[in-house]
Structure 1
Amino acid sequence: MTVRLGVNPIAWSNDDMPALGGDTPLELCLAEGRQAGFAGFELGHKFPREPDALRPILARHGLDLVSGWYSAGLLDRTVDEEIAAVQPHLRLLKAFGCSVMVVAETTGCVHGDRAAPLSTRPVLDAGQWAGFGRRMTAFGDYLREQGTPLAYHYHMGTVVETPDEIDRFAEVTGDSVGILLDTGHLTFAGGNPLDVIATWGHRINHVHCKDVRPDVLKAAKAGDSSFLDAVVDGVFTVPGDGCVDFKAVLGALKAAEYRGQWLVIEAEQDPAKAHPLTYVTRGRQHLSALVAELGL
């Protein structure tokens, strides 16, 4: 197994709350990511979305494109409508040879609304799961045929958030729907990454590595915080700075024969409180030492 270490620009400039890092130029983000030792970046809202515009920017910094988030709407759309909607994003990822497409169902989601407590997120009833799973599987089949397999991102504030919902989602979808292991969102939702790896390790095709500050998490849950308030308060941090045992996580991924190409640090924080270069460098050092120790 050989994995590469990537980073998400959300440490510098937040996609869900653009005021966080809104003045940070993309060039600074990329330069600091390269300085920290990362091999690639996932997309953020400041990235050009045309291959000919993005390619020279990444090339200047010696960086690859890892992947990029796609907001699906399969609870409202047909599969054909989703396939039509994904074309610009798919063309971009294919142009850079990305190994997966990060996909999350965002119908009715509240993670981008700072005024919405997480308790107000959408929840599927028992009768919705089978149809949702069929549509997502058909979408996954299409993306696999295109050479950019689907990596499903469960996420706070969406219809797939809790450990039980992750299990239900995996049960109603086929193997063309990969599972993105996000250590931070899973911990926030009360789950354990080791349990998901033990059950669904054969489906995991991408990994987001974020750590969690347990004191901030406890307060966010007690106060029924919005997702963005929790982020601003510092619920997430980089690997090695919180309560997630990344040595155990990476060891379990190795045992499950993780077939993804990347481990991506994706730890959104307020850059005014958590200096991006300092934190992502710390996170990369922690992960790279574990990768070397474990032989990933």
Structure 2
Amino acid sequence: DVFGVELWTESLHFLRFCWNLERAELLAGRLAGSGVGIVMDFSHIVAAGEDPLDYLRRHQGRIAHVHLRDAVPGNINLSIGNGQADFAAGLEALAADGYTGHFSLELETRDVTHGERPAAAAKAASFITDLI
């Protein structure tokens, strides 16, 4: 970290090499002790049919960054509030684990029209802000 640069891996990543919790955990195990951080993405976990709380238990203390977007099993393209991600429970568990990193609010474009995007972004930001 001499230059202020960190290396992270976003796994679990739906429809990619580490597409489920088991494969993501195998990669995390290989990277243990390497200094490579883990990005938790609620949408990828839910789209893969996995439980964000189980993901957090298995990667406790190793989460370096968090992506926030909604999903349902099999569909990652949903705005916050349009899917099944339990952000309240997940964010509470992150806080209990001592997470102090940043969050990226990922704004979906496939379930809203161009004209609806500003309102959808404000709604998502308000919803998440109330939880963190």
Tell me the TM-score range normalised by the shorter chain: 0.7 to 0.9
Alpha-carbon distance between aligned partners in 1 of 2:112 and 2:92, rounded to the nearest angstrom: 34
Does residue 94 of structure 2 align to residue 236 of structure 1?
Answer: no
Task: Give the letter for the 1:236 counterpart.
Answer: L
Q: How many angstroms does 1:271 deviate by? A: 7.2
Q: Would you say the 8 A contact 1:211–1:243 is kept in 2?
A: yes
Aligned length: 129
Residue 53 of structure 2 corresponds to 194
Alpha-carbon distance between aligned partners in 1 of 2:60 and 2:107, rounded to the nearest angstrom: 22
Residue 167 of structure 1 corresponds to 25
Q: Would you say the 8 A contact 1:163–1:190 is kept in 2?
A: no
Alpha-carbon distance between aligned partners in 2 of 1:159 and 1:254, rounded to the nearest angstrom: 29
Task: Give the letter for the 1:148 counterpart.
Answer: V
Deviations for 1:91-123, whole angstroms, at most 9, x for unmatched residues? Answer: xxxxxxxxxxxxxxxxxxxxxxxxxxxxxxxxx
Q: Unaligned regions of 5+ residues in structure 2, if any?
A: none
Does residue 107 of structure 2 align to residue 211 of structure 1?
Answer: no
Match 1:266 to one of 103, 106, 130: 106
Q: How many angstroms does 1:204 deviate by? A: 0.2
Residue 249 of structure 1 corresponds to 90
Alpha-carbon distance between aligned partners in 1 of 2:64 and 2:107, rounded to the nearest angstrom: 19
Distance 1:183 1:156, change over 3 A: same
Match of 2:128, SS state, is helix
Alpha-carbon distance between aligned partners in 2 of 1:209 and 1:251, rounded to the nearest angstrom: 14
Residue correspondence of structure 1 range 128-167 to structure 2 within 5 A: 144-154=1-11, 155-167=13-25
Residue correspondence of structure 1 range 49-128 to structure 2 within 5 A: none
Give the TM-score of the pair, scaled to structure 1: 0.41
Looking at secondary structure, tell me which structure has more strand per residue. 2
Residue 127 of structure 2 corresponds to 286
Match of 2:61, SS state, is helix
Q: Would you say the 8 A contact 2:67–2:106 is kept in 1?
A: yes
Task: Give the letter for the 1:266 counterpart.
Answer: E
Q: Would you say the 8 A contact 1:183–1:244 is kept in 2?
A: yes
Q: How many angstroms does 1:150 deviate by? A: 1.5
Looking at secondary structure, tell me which structure has more helix per residue. 1
Give the TM-score of the pair, scaled to structure 2: 0.86
Q: How many angstroms does 1:244 deviate by? A: 1.1
Q: How many angstroms does 1:267 deviate by? A: 3.5
Match of 1:242, SS state, is coil
Q: How many angstroms does 1:206 deviate by? A: 0.3
Q: Would you say the 8 A contact 1:151–1:178 is kept in 2?
A: yes
Alpha-carbon distance between aligned partners in 2 of 1:207 and 1:173, rounded to the nearest angstrom: 18
Alpha-carbon distance between aligned partners in 2 of 1:250 and 1:272, rounded to the nearest angstrom: 25
Alpha-carbon distance between aligned partners in 1 of 2:97 and 2:41, rounded to the nearest angstrom: 16
Q: Unaligned regions of 5+ residues in structure 1, if any?
A: 1-143, 222-229, 292-296
Q: Would you say the 8 A contact 1:181–1:207 is kept in 2?
A: yes
Q: Would you say the 8 A contact 1:201–1:258 is kept in 2?
A: no
